[in-house]
Structure 1
Amino acid sequence: MIIDAHCHVWPDDIARKVLANRPVGLDPVHDGTLDGLRRTMDAAGIDMAMTLAVANVGRTVRRTNEFVGQVDRSRFIPFGTVHPDLTVEENLAALRDNGVVGVKLHPLFQEVAFSDERTREILIALAENDIPVIAHVGSGGDDHQNANGAPENLHAMLSDITGLRLIAAHYGGYQVLDEAEQWSVGTSAYLETSWPPSMGVLDPERVIAIIRRHGADRVLYGSDWPMTDPATEIAAVRALGLSPEEESGILGGNLARLLGIESPSAS
């Protein structure tokens, strides 16, 4: 079973506008729509995908969660949004009312910081309600944005919040792999493998060392669709030469266990 842990989606008209602006300076390779994601998954042999929807400001949190809460649950796992402009209860209600099972936190786009007490209050509530979180960690923006999601601040936040099921995207430090190895690897977070424009640009021996040090059972495949091609990223994972158990876990088994998804072979 292959599950992609990192797929951004938008309503069709919004997807066109967002991707026309080349977010974080990358050239998208797919269209950002739900139909486009389904076609990509079918072509790459992907069974399920976490669909991530992010609200940049508090006033759009509820309608963003309404959108992602309507996805086809047989293929898509809805991860919605929170924002510190809203109260903790307003954020929880917007998730609960739309059946959203997890949260995407994006320091670059949302102006939220791991060190901000308002963000931490929300994360504590998510931990108490057993709602998993995937967060962008590392660089990709200006100095202020990069500090918001710095691996060092992630480490401090995880040390202060117990019970949080957190997935640290981009091996826990996009564009700052040295910092990721210092602060993210070995924490309680799950590490996710996406690295736009492709994980294939990383030294495979270094990636293997990170996976083994962190524990292959706590590493999850993700593509960062539509900015990368999932089939290419799956091939990069398979090219590492991991054991069959490590590879199958990273490509889907670990995430299925984390989210309580029953694989087809188990039914």
Structure 2
Amino acid sequence: MRMDVSKLAAIDVHVHAEVSCCDQEDPIFGEFLDASTRYFKADRRRPTIPETIAYYRARNIGFVMFTVDMEAGTGIKRMRNEEIAEAAAANGDVMIAFASIDPHKGKRGAIEARDLIEKHGVKGFKFHPPLQDFDPGDPMAWPLYEVIDHYGLPAIFHTGHSGMGTGMPGGGGIRLRYGQPMLVDEVAVRFPNIRIILAHPGWPWTDESLSMALHKPNIFIDLSGWSPRYFPPQIMRYANTQLGDKFLFGSDFPLIPPDRWIAAYDEAGFKPELREKMLKGNAARVLGLQ
């Protein structure tokens, strides 16, 4: 079952899976969820994967879903990538599965990535350097990048401030410096077949993300995690001029609902001709749907 872009109202490239249908909530992860709930003023009860699928199908919105494997950085037991891939295989009209593998797993992680692509139909990868406690340009991660580059798949990198860990003692041990967008520039240079998506406006390094998207053909930006009404002004300026083909709709669901994000987008002042591109056209191209 393949996603028909022409029948969708939008494509959300940034949706989290935080509740496993098979495993109990990790108690350490629960502490992070408590903190992010306070920070985002969200519902502590997170939706299951089937509930998320039903939510997006009711709105006729396609979406990319992933978890974050951060076992080395936090000790949190990860959700199985296969669980998300199986759901996407059964709901391909609205759902695409990305995998997450902790780069500290080295060659073992690279083998897992290959198997997830070839045997489970995974269509991309998600990295969260602050939570995974690594510099994205570190050669430690190259075996994993080499697999992604070989298959020419997209990869999402968290950039900027991390809502996860905000307000916890020591920020939950999360080092914000690994969210600096420019650290991903090395990845774009060495692995040009990876379509890199810099997640979020990248604050407080927003200008770095814009520079990289302007400079590198394989770098894009998803605008998840923030309501468009609060975007730094340079986001609007570059979207309406040089980078209209580089921005993607992402919500950060379940922390920000797509309905609320799209409503704020429509009032933010983007040029009308950008709406189709930013809500689904650009994403369709980056995800290989067109």
TM-score, normalization by structure 1 = 0.82
Distance 1:148 1:6 in 2: 19
Deviations 1:141-170, CA, capped at 9 Å, x for gaps: 659622223112122332232221111111
| CA deviation after TM superposition for structure 1 residue 176, in Å | 3.2
Q: Secondary structure at the match of 1:50?
A: strand
Deviation at 1:60, TM superposition (A): 9.1
Q: What does residue 179 of structure 2 align with?
A: 149
Report how far residue 224 of structure 1 moved.
0.4
Residue aligning to 1:234: 262
Q: Any gaps of 5 or more consecutive residues in structure 2? A: 1-7, 166-170
How far 1:213 moved relative to its partner? 4.9
Indicate the residue corresponding to 2:139 in structure 1: 117
Equivalent residue for 2:66, pick from 52, 56, 59: 52
1:40 aligns to 2:55 (yes or no): yes
- Say which of 86, 90, 93 aligns to 2:115: 93
SS at match of 1:70: helix
| 1:15 to partner: Cα distance | 9.0
The answer to whether residue 25 in structure 2 is matched with residue 9 in structure 1 is: no
Aligned partner of 2:102 in structure 1 is 83
Partner of 2:251: 223
Query: How far did 1:175 drift?
Result: 4.0
* 8 A contact 1:62–1:94 mirrored in 2: no
Write the letter of the residue equivalent to 1:201.
Answer: Y
Question: For 1:237-252, what aligned pairs fall within 5 Å after superposition?
Answer: 237-252=265-280
Aligned to 2:12, the other structure's residue is in SS state: strand
Query: Aligned partner of 1:145: which letter?
Result: R
Q: Which residue of 1 aligns with 2:190?
A: 160
Maintained 8 Å contact 1:217/1:250: yes
What SS class does the counterpart of residue 97 from structure 1 fall into?
Answer: helix
SS at match of 1:90: helix
Name 2:80's counterpart in structure 1. 64
Change (3 A) 1:200 1:222: same
The secondary structure found in structure 2 opposite 1:89 is helix
Structure 2 length as normaliser, TM-score?
0.77
Q: Counterpart of 2:14 in structure 1: which amino acid?
A: H
Matched residue SS, 2:120: coil
| Superposition deviation, residue 42 in structure 1 | 4.6
Q: Distance in 2 between matches of 1:144 and 1:22?
A: 13
**Pick aligned residue for 1:21 from 25, 28, 34:** 34
Superposed CA deviations along residues 42-80 of structure 1, whole A, max 9, x for unmatched, are: 55x342100112211279999621111111222210011
- Alignment-derived partner of residue 231 in structure 2: 202
Aligned positions, number: 258
Deviation at 1:104, TM superposition (A): 0.7
Q: 1:218 to 1:100 in 2, by over 3 A?
A: same
Q: Counterparts of 1:36 and 1:118 in 2: how far apart (Å)?
A: 36
Distance verdict in 2 for CA 1:206–1:126, change over 3 Å: same
| Aligned AA (1:82) | I
Correspondence 1:128 to 2:142: no
What amino acid maps onto 1:31 in structure 2? R
Q: Cα 1:157–1:184, aligned 2, differ >3 Å: closer, same or farther?
A: same
Partners of 1:5 and 1:192 within 8 A in 2: yes
Q: Which runs of 4+ in 1 moved over 6 A?
A: 58-63
Residue identity opposite 1:220 in structure 2: L
Work out the CA distance in 1 between the residues paired with 2:183 and 2:55: 34
Distance 1:217 1:179, change over 3 A: closer
Residue identity matched to 1:21:
D
* Cα separation, 2, equivalents of 1:186 and 1:232: 31
* Identical residues among aligned pairs (%): 22
Deviations 1:113-163 (A, max 9, x none): 212102133213211111211110122265962222311212233223222
* Residue among 239, 244, 248 paired with 1:211: 239
On the 8 A contact 1:185/1:213 being kept in 2, the answer is no
Residue in structure 1 matched with residue 92 of structure 2 by the alignment: 73
Structure 1 position 33, deviation (Å): 1.8
